[in-house]
Structure 1
């Protein structure tokens, strides 16, 4: 992990397309702004993890349904 120290209004550049700016530091909270291309999804980590879990459950359900359909087709 790269650890950087930044002050309010200072930025970090990631590649050519992503800029992270420290907007405000208040107590134990830091407000950041992220400039990135629209095709890049940006989520809080807990939201990202929830999305991944939902996707995993949806794919497992789809596989189960396909297996059930295959089984029904064999019975006919």
Structure 2
């Protein structure tokens, strides 16, 4: 893990397209600004993990689940 020290107003570049800027520090909270291309998904870690868990559950549904859902919508 790379550990860097930055002050408000300073930035960190990730590759050519992503910039993390320290906007402010208030006690134990840091406000980050993230400048990245629109095709780059940005999530808080806990949200990202929830998305990955939901995708894992969805991938384990029985193969006939789509057909069951289609039949349910016709009723």
Verify same fold: TM over 0.5.
Answer: yes
TM-score (norm 2): 0.83
1:18 aligns with 2:43: no
SS of match in other structure, 1:56: helix
Aligned length: 66
SS of match in other structure, 1:13: strand
Which aligned segments of 4 or more residues in structure 1 are displaced greater than 2 angstroms?
none
TM-score (norm 1): 0.82
SS of match in other structure, 1:25: strand
**Structure 2 unaligned residues grouped into runs of 5+:** 68-75
1:18 deviates by 0.2
CA RMSD of aligned residues (A): 1.5
SS of match in other structure, 1:52: helix
1:1-76 equivalences in 2 (<5 Å) = 1-61=1-61, 64-66=62-64
Larger radius of gyration: 1
CA distance in structure 1 between the aligned counterparts of 2:57 and 2:33, rounded to whole angstroms = 32
CA distance in structure 2 between the aligned counterparts of 1:42 and 1:11, rounded to whole angstroms = 17
SS of match in other structure, 2:60: helix
CA distance in structure 1 between the aligned counterparts of 2:24 and 2:50, rounded to whole angstroms = 27
